[in-house]
Amino acid sequence: MSGISGIAVARLSEERKAWRKDHPFGFVAKPTKNADGTLNLMVWECAIPGKKATPWEGGVYNLRMIFKDDYPSSPPKCKFEPPLFHPNVYPSGTVCLSLLDEDKDWRPAVTIKQILLGIQDLLNDPNIKDPAQAEGILNLHAKSNRLRQESPDSGQGSRTEKLTRNLMNIVLFLVLARSINIMRALESD
């Protein structure tokens, strides 16, 4: 084990202790086990509950955190398993979040708890300025623009806004329904 990997393992051991003492209700974060039964602190299985009063409420979203040997200098890779359809989640399931980007908001002091809470917030409040699935965002934006162009300008601004909001709600509902169906299928296996 190299010195940097030793630092990563020591930090992750501390993270595990802190998590076991205090973590948000409904969240799960635990290291995986190696074939021999020992803990693999470099890969964690996590679960994020959907936030109350959002379309994500009632769901539990499984995520894998993969830490590099130079953690905490570099952020973990966070990947939804199975992948979610979300503007800030790549088709592979990898989360696109500034908090997880070395060139943006990542700091070595960021905790696993902060990462999971940040991802939970991202689910209902996507960053459309930095999409992982640009094609989906562009399609949604094009539909929104088409609705605006088709609506007469004579006092119909609120109608256009309402249609756009409804379209966004439909997309969120479809994402949630797909995620729930995938979860049910996995549970029945």
Residue 1 or residue 58, greater confidence: 58
- Kindly report the pTM of this predicted structure: 0.72
Q: Any catalytic annotation for residue 96?
A: yes
Q: Which residue has the tokens 């009063």?
A: 53
pLDDT greater at residue 24 or residue 172: 24
Dist CA 79 CA 45 (whole Å): 10
Looking at the chain, the number of H-run helices and the number of E-run strands are: 4, 4
CA distance 48 to 81: 11
Q: How confident is the model at residue 154 (pLDDT cuts 50, 70, 90)?
A: very low
Q: Active-site residue among 96, 100, 112, 122?
A: 96
Please give the order of strands across the beta sheet that includes 77-80.
28-33, 39-49, 60-66, 77-80
**144, 136 Cβ separation under 8 angstroms:** no
Give per-residue pLDDT as tens, 60-112: 999 999 999 999 999 999 999 999 989 999 999 999 999 999 999 999 999 99
Domains of the chain are 3-124 (3.10.110.10)
Span 20-24, mean pLDDT? 98
